[in-house]
Structure 1
């Protein structure tokens, strides 16, 4: 025996296939059949043996389909000689079983029928499967010459032919039964389209009996207008042996005996004689398609009508429900269920309508609405419903009476509409007031900044004149200095004009985004859409609700206005939580928060922003909308986000849309603030011999600060751009004892400059000198970026006090 696993697997597969082939013959355990008995008798007579068998080898036994000289019908397979014979294709001959080691101890040799001689020819099917043998057995020793072996093999082939013929007859009987009992017509013709078979279903379908049509042309069921095409098609099939209708179900018209025409479904097959490619006959299974066509037409019409009605009802914002004759719901759309606080309308199916209304409302409907409904078939009015949580809901109701006595109910939440209108009006007013305040504040801030720079130059010059006793213009300089002080006071009052006190509270940022999106959605063009990508977990921050809404609304309005209303467009609003170290774009304005932050991303598929215009988009009164824009939207965004200690990053290209990333710190804003230096005691020698960098985009301010600092003994490095200051620090970090910088500068603002400078020298004190000290003194970005702050116009006293405060604060920070 082979130890090869693959060989064993193949043997097992071959045995399973052999047993399947035997089972397909359906011959095991069947009664004796004369034709098989005759072959067994002929074999016994031809070879002069007392025993001859037609033996079939099953899984665990051998069964005899025909037997001569043996009374038993089967034996176990493990004692079978035939089980060995089927292992080869030739006749197996055992001259003397007592001398053959395979069979010497076999009970059929030692006992009845005392086998000595055995010869078995395998029964080999056309598939090559060997299912049994035709064998002859003798009780004496003998041999079998080649001629005899050939004769036994031919007789075995006759057994195989009988088995195949038996299976064919059995299949024909089954086919006949199926054909005669089938509801489909079964029609066969010869190659010339003459009918050779016509079952009972064909008689019923076409009205002709089999005796009337057998031998007739198939033209009797083909309409006149199709006969020529049919004849041409048949000629092509006869010539080529090919038809594109074979194996397909086709629909064609047919004729009944009375001349009426009707549609049929026809599946066609054909057969050949031997290896001839030309068909000798055709068979068709035919089904009357009349009823199906009618049902399909009616079904399609009904389906279309119902689909339209159901679709309209399901997408309706109004609630729609239907009751049966006793008032129980049998249909309800989503809006109706949600109106009463149910997520699934199925929960209400079978419930009585009265369960959804207050007792007073039920009594009123039954007393007032139903009499009118029964008389006129419809009623409309208002009532009070009850939500699942017990809260009341004011509704507008339209009732219609169905023909079977049920109701069709259409409801609308009137209370929700009123509340929504009031809330929208409140939000619009709130945003309008806030926008006005921001506009005034931006205008005031812009004027105050420039005005304070002027005053700084005037007052600084006056201070220099006063400091020189020899100067004859002392009295005039004192007047200039007094006027400058009055102007600074006026500027401070102007700055307070547009400022509002933030009302910081905990805000669910995802909920706020949804609210703002709903405000904007109604103003979108039909081709435009908004996609929300919000996290499942809430992200909360401490901020002013109105300011957050202003930032979101300004960004979304800009995104909407950037898209062509006549072209498809999409706005995507995303929200995610950022932890320290998470990769993200570098802010264009403001700072990336040090701690955890929320990233709000607004993207659009609009016109985008040209590279040369990106640098100025956050400046006040700079708009890309022409006369339709105030130029304050992004300036407001900048002001609010920077005040919160956050930043904004922008990515945009012409014709490829824009993306704005807002970095909003999640840590609560610090309550402390940088002190402004007024009359704080200081040391006159604090800057003597020290090197100080001065950065301001106003040359006059730089000149005044330089002269004041040099007068106090400092060595000054004046810079009009942040990059010059950074280059100086990078060249010699240890040379500089103090950095004094403005905040609002083109390119890099003061907070960014301070951050970059500290990367070059971590212990460098930074003093903010700004025209808006009150505003920046409250900002998170200033608290983290500067050591002290002084306001413009600058006096020598405030400058020295601020410098000393910055140096001391830096030293304390370094000590921690």
Structure 2
């Protein structure tokens, strides 16, 4: 079988037999050959690219020789026995140093050893210092012994193939596990990203906790790098680790310095065995495993996202690990950008709101005075124009108040004072205070009171603010002549207050945005309704500040039900009943 030399060498390498220790299964065959053929030397020779190496040798002191002086290199070129009766008289070998040296080779007989896939990788050969010729029986015996060697070599090949198959299966299973872990982690990240319950800062913390779980590492940090200083933006770490948001350190004392120098990603699974152990931060922090990546905002680096542990990992970071942190860094970058935009927006809204509120109050007061006749009589046309200006000014005032409320909520500056109140009394007041607005729209507000007294612990003014938002929204989106109903569902521990309308319902694509700031549905009918898009966002924040929850159910074209839920103080209710 004629195959390229490169393919033959690859077949030899696949056996993984070169430079391995002696084995009795081969040595017993070469010992038997010495005894059977009464020769000086017997070898199991394997012909490599530049040498012949002896897996088994009897009577020969060297473990290998150069291929250029090898008799076996000639033997593997053909099939069957390659026999030289007297090498000193053969033009191919007469000047070979193995022949011309004292006691040199005269007789050589070798049988090629062929792998199961047809490559001749070496020989079983017998050598003597005297000329001779093998008899037919001896030639057959040498072929039989070579067959035994071939079987052992091919058994090794089979063993190696089994090892390769097992290793390939292990790598495949590991890759599948990594892919499953990656998909699960990305799904969890998507849940974090779409959560309406988490602020952007809480989303960053949740993402760091997810990363720590994914990498099985203890510490996760998002940092800002500025003026050669490392500042912690967000961190998750075990108790007792002296890390917190806002902590600043010299950049040179952190692994992030090394990360920035790489320009993108740095992954070290065992720092103690890496050149990084010479870095100052290793002796200072003693972190044994680290993976970090540069975070970019607007094309310029912001800082780093990193995970670390005080113990080394058993294995290096995989390609799936590196892909995960790359994807996570892009997500973090997007969240940081949203934080930056929100901060700018909130600062702008705060400034504008405060600057507008005082002059607008004066404008509204002045218009009311004029409409009240302070300046004398006016034409009907002037009265109508001023009434429209007043209405729009009051709407602008409501927007400013909503903006200021939202600002205070974000800053944690709204005071909430909760006290026990009877639900029926609270809802009766809500109905009374909001009926005038509903009348303007031709809507009737109705209350189905609780049969049993029930107390809830709320801030009276903030509760009424929430109910005003829910009732005005329900009336605004209902058809004239219809009813908006307040009905309660009571369980043993909680009470749910429902505001039901029979209006247009909420488009399915808008539902996930319903409690976001400035959110308003895109339908033309909804755009025609007055509103700031802040009422539900404020209601949600206030409800949660008072220990309650808020939610809704809606079918487009069939109406909506918005509800708030609070714990029930039953014992106190019974006492007050």
Q: Which category describes the TM-score, using the shorter chain as reference length? A: 0.3 to 0.5
Greater Rg by CA: 1
Q: What TM-score comes out, normalization by structure 1 length?
A: 0.26
Greater relative contact order (Cα < 8 A, sep 6+): 2
TM-score by length of 2: 0.36
